[in-house]
Every structure is written in structure tokens, then in C-alpha cells.
Amino acid sequence: MHFRDKSVTPIRVGLDQIGIVGLHAALKETDTLDPDDREAVADRMLEVLASSNYIPEGQVEAYRTAFWRESRRHRGRDFSAWYSELPVTVRGAPGEERDRFVALASAVLAAHELRPVFTLADGARDPELVIRDEVVASGPQNRASLDRAVRRTFSHW
């Protein structure tokens, strides 16, 4: 099925931000389905969107999860359980400062629909956030500065 609406909507598939053509029309196609039937909704979204979008064979499950998440968003339901997981390391001495840093990193990554899977490591004097073997931020941070650092890292992916 091809849609007249060729607008591109950005969604997160795994750790990648990609554009989907016809997402809004496909979401309307699922309005008659049971909103709690994940398999039926994801199947219908995949069926409708596959003709207008490239969906790599090895990433079908990641796309199904992304489509389910978008369906939840469309219906105004919580979709945080389907955020994409991101392995991250926080290095620093155990204690309140590192704990605050972890909580802040969790909040910033959640704003990008990512669920961090933390590894905590000693070694750094000030807390450091490491993503994909790159130190993204270190030292005392506020939400805005950590968000900027995370966004810069995304641009390298």
C-alpha cells in the first residue's frame, strides 16, 4: 500500500533515529485493532509500512518494537517499557556524587527514549559517562550540559 502522505516522521529504531514514510496513516490503520494486542498492531504496522520504507531483514524485530512504541504514543499510553537499551559505563568513586550522576544520566537518556544499562566502575576521580568507549561527559553536570554532551555523541553514530 502506498500513501499519498509522503511525510517523513523520525522514530528511534534500536539506537538509530530513522525516518518513516506514512507513519501517521499507518497508525490510523491500527485504530480498529485491540490496542493491547502487541503482535496484531506490530504486524499491521509492518505490513502497511513495508511497501514505502526500507526495513532491513535483520532488523525486523527492532522495527516491530519501534512501531509498537509509536502505536502506544499515538494512543497516549506509556511506552517507556519499550525504550531502546543503551549500554553505558559510569566511572567514578562510589558515593553520592556518582549516584547523582547516574540518576541524571538516566533522566537525560530517557528524554531520548533510551534506557541505559549501567556498568559502574571505579577509576575516575570525577564521575564520567562512557558510551561506546567514548567519554561523553565528566565532572559535575547539570541536565542541560549533559544533554548537550549526549546529543553530540548521537551525531557521531
The residue type found at 103 is A
What's the confidence (pLDDT) of residue 141?
A: 83
pLDDT at 154: 76
CA separation (Å) from 115 to 26, 37, 87, 109? Answer: 26, 23, 9, 7
What was the pLDDT predicted at 126?
A: 86
Question: Do residues 107 and 77 touch, judged by C-beta distance below 8 A?
Answer: no
Q: Where are the alpha helices (DSSP H) in the chain?
A: 23-29, 38-49, 60-74, 96-111, 143-156
- Count how many Cα atoms sit within 13 Å of the Cα of residue 127 in the half-sphere of its side chain: 22
Total-model pTM: 0.78
Divide the 157 residues of the chain into consecutive groups of 10 and give the mean pLDDT of each group. Answer: 70 91 93 94 95 94 96 93 93 92 94 93 87 89 87 74
At 5 the pLDDT is: 62
DSSP letter at 104?
H
What does the buried/exposed string (b/e) look like for 44-64 if buried means 16 or more CB atoms within 10 Å of the residue's CB? bbbebbeebbebeeebeebbb
